[in-house]
Amino acid sequence: MVQKQYLTYNDVHKLCQEAAPEILEKFQPQLIIAIGGGGYIPARILRSFLKQPGSPNIPIQAIGLSLYETLPSDTTTDSPVGGAPEKEGTEVIRTQWLDLSALGEMFNLVGKRVLIVDEVDDTRRTLEYAVRELEKDVELARAKLGVQGETKFSIFVLHNKDKEKKGTLPKDMMEEGRYMAARTVGDAWICYPWEATDIDEHDRLAKSQGVEEHAEHNKLA
Amino acid sequence: MVQKQYLTYNDVHKLCQEAAPEILEKFQPQLIIAIGGGGYIPARILRSFLKQPGSPNIPIQAIGLSLYETLPSDTTTDSPVGGAPEKEGTEVIRTQWLDLSALGEMFNLVGKRVLIVDEVDDTRRTLEYAVRELEKDVELARAKLGVQGETKFSIFVLHNKDKEKKGTLPKDMMEEGRYMAARTVGDAWICYPWEATDIDEHDRLAKSQGVEEHAEHNKLA
């Protein structure tokens, strides 16, 4: 039985707030790429905290990546909600990609500092896909436009599940600290508030869980 | 002095939940287009409530539209946060547009039911721009691909400000009830939670405001 962990919206808001100073210091992102649907909400919240007085908002571009379970019958189905543990035989499907034509000076990613945002890093498949495909875009732009400059991708997730990963991220990204998780958790089922059908009950579960954790912590202390 | 109205995340969640049955009944959307940044969060929440058992999630595509204030010096600046009253001389800037190439059968909008989501309808400039430009895309696709079928756009916003509008929406959309606001409010400054730098204080203000409104209501009753 996988343990469920409930997050309130304010929990999510505060995780973004807490992470923002380090993101500003280490990454100084010029563009946020939100992986939808789970990354939309943290990306939008994070942007408020990354805003610098006198500077415009950091643009957010959304890409859509869905995990599909490949069933034995060769049909596919939506995988469960974002925080749920991923099943075997899951593949990444692209449902939206960048539209850089409208971004003015951000029209290509060459030489830019780009922060990729998602809610959870479960098997790392989605993040691997995102970084690999974005790097391909950078190479294409370099070749096509003849522009130079180093593109730096960084990653922010609310939760990294401490488990065996199926996907890998570039070695230099990990070594240079360009991967950041607000929290590292066990292989829990993380229940994000935007998936709650009864948000009051969801908040009660989050609160009672907090109380239990606190009691557990005191017991251990 | 414009009155400020504070919304908690759970308020936003419940506005989406409350609106979902009517949206499902009247619009049956096949695609959600979220106007970023303000539309991302309501769109993502709404999708949870529009999900039908046994059916895949409704895809969300994000478009980026920003309001820029044209200053006398001919430079532009970010307009204030979404819920703040718009100033004169504001124009809509496109920062991201659709990428339909990745959407499979949704690769064009012809013959589709499309729900446009934003957080607030202030002067209606942004919504006018979105509908007009999306309709252009539909006409282009019709001409280019030779496909037929009526595209139905509908709109969902959390708040419609009851004020003189600078933008207009198609007459048939309004007449057929394809414009829906969870709440119609006066010309207030709506403070959405994702713009709060202190979410606990924000929630306290929302709560005390609710108490005041309740008291006001009782006094009037």
What's the CA gap between B202 and B216, in Å, rounded?
21
> In angstroms, how far is CA A154 from the centroid of its own chain?
10
* pLDDT value at A131 more than 80: yes
What's the average model confidence in pLDDT over A55-75? 73
Residue A122 annotated in active site: yes
Going along chain A from its start, the domains and CATH numbers come out as 9-185 (3.40.50.2020)
Counting DSSP H helices and E strands in chain B, the numbers are 5, 9
Listed residue (B12, B193, B64) closest to A58, CA to CA? B64
Task: Give A2 to chain B, closest Cα distance, Å.
Answer: 22
Phi, psi values for residue B154, rounded to 5°: -135, 165
What's the CA gap between B109 and B94, in Å, rounded?
19
What's the CA gap between B43 and B119, in Å, rounded?
9
Residues in chain B, pLDDT under 50: 73-76, 221
- Contact A169/A175 with Cβ under 8 angstroms? no
Which one is predicted more confidently, A72 or B198? Answer: B198
Helix, strand, coil percent content, chain B, rounded in steps of 5: 40, 25, 35
CB distance B78–A56 less than 8 Å?
yes
B13 vs A contacts (CB less than 8 Å): 9, 193-194, 196, 199
Q: Residue B76: its pLDDT value, please?
A: 46
Q: Residue A100: its pLDDT value, please?
A: 64
Phi, psi values for residue B27, rounded to 5°: -105, -30
B97 vs A contacts (CB less than 8 Å): 99, 101-102
Q: What is the DSSP string of chain A?
A: -PPEEE--HHHHHHHHHHHHHHHHHHT--SEEEEEETTTHHHHHHHHHHHPPTTSPPPPEEEEEEEEEEE-TTS-EEE---TTSPPPSSEEEEEEE----TTSGGGSS-TT-EEEEEEEEESSSHHHHHHHHHHHHHHHHHHHHH------EEEEEEEEEE-S--SS---HHHHHTT-EEEEEEE-S-EEE-GGG-SSHHHHHHHHHHHHHHHHHHHHHH-
Mutate to test the interface with B, among A14, A51, A96, A201 (most CBs of B within 10 A): A96
Q: Is B217 helix (H, G, I), strand (E, B) or coil?
A: helix
Q: Residue B100: its pLDDT value, please?
A: 64
Catalytic: which of A122, A137, A162, A198? A122
- Write out B179-209 in H/E/C secondary structure: EEEEEEECCCEEECHHHCCCHHHHHHHHHHH
* pLDDT value at A102 more than 80: no
CB distance A10–B199 less than 8 Å?
yes
Q: Which of A48, A101, A200 is nearest residue B194 as measured by Cβ atoms?
A: A48
Residues 6+ apart with CB under 8 A from A50: A20, A23, A24, A29, A32, A58
Q: Which of B10, B103, B200 is nearest residue A95 as measured by Cβ atoms?
A: B103
Mutate to test the interface with B, among A8, A9, A63 (most CBs of B within 10 A): A9
Residues of B annotated as part of the active site: 122
Q: How confident is the model at residue A2 (pLDDT cuts 50, 70, 90)?
A: confident
Closest chain A residue to the Cα of B38, Cα to Cα: A44
What amino acid is encoded at B4 in this protein?
K
What's the average model confidence in pLDDT over A76-93? 68
Interface of B to A at Cβ within 8 Å reads 8-10, 13-14, 17, 34, 36-37, 40-41, 43-45, 47-49, 56-57, 59-62, 64, 66, 77-78, 94-99, 101-103, 193-197, 199-200, 203
Q: Residue B80: its pLDDT value, please?
A: 55
What's the CA gap between B167 and B90, in Å, rounded?
12
Q: Is B16 helix (H, G, I), strand (E, B) or coil?
A: helix
What's the CA gap between B112 and B193, in Å, rounded?
32
Identify the sign of the CA torsion A209, A212, A216, A218. Answer: positive
CB distance B44–A96 less than 8 Å?
no
pLDDT tens, position by position, A10-60: 999 999 999 999 999 999 999 999 998 899 999 999 999 999 888 888 888
Closest chain B residue to the Cα of A40, Cα to Cα: B40
Q: Residue A74: its pLDDT value, please?
A: 44
Mutate to test the interface with A, among B79, B99, B100, B107 (most CBs of A within 10 A): B99
* pLDDT value at A171 more than 80: yes
Interface of A to B at Cβ within 8 Å reads 8-10, 13-14, 17, 34, 36-37, 40-41, 43-45, 47-49, 56-57, 59-62, 64, 66, 77-78, 94-99, 101-104, 193-197, 199-200, 203
Mutate to test the interface with B, among A7, A45, A197 (most CBs of B within 10 A): A45
- Contact B99/B60 with Cβ under 8 angstroms? no
Terminal Cα distance for chain B, rounded: 27
A98 vs B contacts (CB less than 8 Å): 99
- Name the residue with tokens 């004169």: B88
